[in-house]
Amino acid sequence: MSGQVLELARAAKEASHTLAVVTPERRKEALERIAGMLESNAAEILAANAADVELAQGLVERGELSTATLNRLKLTAQKLAEMVGSVRATAELPEVIGKVLDRMELDAGLELEKISVPLGVLAVIFEARPDAVTQIGALAIKSGNAAILKPGKEVEQTATVLVGLIRQALIEAELPAGAVSLVLGREAVGELLGMTESIDLVIPRGSKQLVQYVQANTRIPVLGHAEGICHIYVDDAADAELALAVIADAKTDYPSACNAVETVLVHRGIAGEFLPLLAERMSAEKVALLGSDEAAALVGQGLSPVGEWDTEYGDLTLAVRVVADMGEAIAHIHRYGSGHTESIVTADAGHAERFLREVDAAGVYHNVSTRFADGFRYGFGAEVGVSTSKIHARGPVGLDGLTTYKYLLRGNGQLVGSYHGKDARAFTHVRKMS
């Protein structure tokens, strides 16, 4: 293990202890200084980004990088202004640290309090997007956490300048610079993923391959999702027009998003009426429809067959399957879904409630597009990521996904020995908040 990464991790841990105890005002002030620092050094940031872009263009020409990645990488004055605005917006978010989550009297003069505290040290492994630096850096500081950032090779120069400015702003705010640090190089990833003692959470931001690699190579908890295989089930009691509108939105609003729909399951009782309408609408939306022979027969035209039902197309492709009933739809979802977001379209309230109750996924919807699965739409103010894990945080994760809690117990000499054996005292266990 290289001394460099180890030293950064130690500094981050130490910085996290400081950040955890400074006042919310000081963390907020630091974010405002960072925003100002980014503004007054815009030229330097854009110059570093231009250098990254130039190198990346060479990679694109040699077919080693996609044009999409190049576009995500490129900063403009406007994009930079948006990044600065996002740091200022993060500063204004409601405080998540030091909240009293529960309070209970265990006995007279013995009070237990559960309060929210930062997780500690986050490792963020990302690709292409320069805004990942400022966004995660700001969310980390806002929630009292330290962050170690590992950018993709294509964004190294931009990230180096951005992190340098953030650290300068931290020092001016009299906070430890170690709260936000940068590591470079492929080897550093392996080192970070092995640091179970110093890193509390890993956040991968990038391709499915990156997320899967991180998940498969660390025992540190990972906040992220490799896949979003979302379904819409069109019930036999569905309003066809509503179903078409919801499916079109869920497929076309942003096809590469994780909350876009991949498969539509149609109840056999409505399939004969609904499938031709679906085929017509998808054709109008330029969506390629894949389906079984049964679906094709009902549509009245040939459909390309579906390869694997657990495919995330990420483009204007939609698979359709006819199911015997809701039970078969739910079984399909549990077998092929990724536990992200599943929606039913039906005019029957009882059918809807059964689907909402029985489907096991982070989000289960009635009569709305799967695209609503998003921290901003959920009203969290910020989105740290989307989790398809069931542990710690599930679904869109807001700022409190970067917190944990600790129990404080205040007494005046109570001993456990008094509460067992002969003449044992009894606990009162009186909850002090609802």
Is position 422 an interface residue for a copy of itself (rule: CB under 8 A)? no
246 binds a copy of itself (CB under 8 A): yes
Point out which span in 26-34, 76-84, 302-310, 374-382 binds a copy of itself (CB under 8 A).
374-382
Q: Which amino acid is at 189?
A: V
Q: Which stretch binds a copy of itself (CB under 8 A): 64-72, 79-87, 146-154, 243-251?
A: 243-251
- Choose between 117 and 155: whose C-beta lies nearer to a copy of itself: 117
Q: How many angstroms separate the Cα of 296 from the Cα of each of 114, 168, 288? A: 58, 62, 13
Q: Looking at 52, 127, 191, 200, which residue binds a copy of itself (CB under 8 A)?
A: 200
User: Letter for the amino acid at 207?
Assistant: S
Q: Name the packing angle between helices 268-284 and 240-252 (round to 10°).
A: 50
Report residue 184 as tokens: 């470079």
Question: 369, 384, 386, 398: which one contacts a copy of itself (CB under 8 A)?
Answer: 369
Compute the distance between CA of residue 343 and CA of residue 241 in angstroms, rounded to an integer. 16
Q: CA-CA distance, 231 to 229, in Å (whole number)?
A: 7
Helix axes 77-91, 42-61, angle to 10 degrees: 120
Helix 156-172 and helix 131-142, axial crossing angle in degrees, nearest 10: 30
Is residue 362 a contact residue for a copy of itself (CB under 8 A)? yes
**47/408 with CB nearer a copy of itself:** 408
Measured from the CB of residue 334, what is the shortest distance to a copy of itself in angstroms?
Answer: 7
What are the backbone dihedrals phi and psi of residue 215, each rounded to the nearest 5 degrees, phi first?
-60, -35
Residue in 81, 284, 427, 432 binding a copy of itself, rule: CB under 8 A: 427
394 binds a copy of itself (CB under 8 A): yes
**378 makes contact with a copy of itself (CB under 8 A):** yes
Which residue among 75, 361, 384, 386 contacts a copy of itself (CB under 8 A)? 361
Based on the shown chain and the rule CB under 8 A, indicate whether residue 272 belongs to the binding site for a copy of itself.
no
SS3 content of the chain, % helix, strand, coil (to 5): 45, 20, 35
Cβ–Cβ under 8 Å, residues 148 and 8: yes
Q: Give the residue, chosen from 357, 422, 423, 426, that forms a contact with a copy of itself under the rule CB under 8 A.
A: 357
Query: Sign of the CA dihedral 173, 175, 179, 183?
Result: positive
CB-based contacts of 17: which residues, under 8 Å, 6+ apart? none
How many CA atoms lie within 13 Å of 194's alpha carbon, on the beta-carbon side?
A: 9
Q: Does position 145 bind a copy of itself by CB under 8 A? A: no
Site for a copy of itself in 168-187 (CB under 8 A): none
Pairing mode, strands 110-118 and 121-126: unpaired
Element (H, E) at 244: helix 240-252
Stretch that binds a copy of itself, among 33-41, 43-51, 172-180, 391-399 (CB under 8 A): 391-399
- Which ranges in 149-226 belong to alpha helices (H)? 156-172, 186-193, 208-216
Under rule CB under 8 A, which residues in 280-339 are in contact with a copy of itself? Answer: 334
Which parts of 82-121 interact with a copy of itself (CB under 8 A)?
104, 106, 110, 112, 117, 119-120
State the minimum distance, in angstroms, from the CB of residue 47 to a copy of itself. Answer: 32
Cα separations in angstroms, 233 against 49, 241, 251, 366, 368: 45, 14, 14, 10, 11
**57-65, 133-141, 314-322, 361-369 -> range binding a copy of itself (CB under 8 A):** 361-369
Q: Which is nearer to a copy of itself, 146 or 169 (CB)?
A: 146
Instruction: Determine the interface stretch with a copy of itself among 134-142, 271-279, 291-299, 353-361 (rule: CB under 8 A).
Output: 353-361
Residues 6+ apart with CB under 8 A from 73: 49, 52, 53, 56, 128, 129, 130, 154, 155, 158
| List of residues contacting a copy of itself (CB under 8 A) | 17, 20-21, 104, 106, 110, 112, 117, 119-120, 200-201, 215-216, 218-219, 221, 239, 242, 245-246, 249-250, 253, 334, 352, 356-358, 360-369, 371-373, 377-379, 389-392, 394-396, 404-417, 419, 427, 429, 431
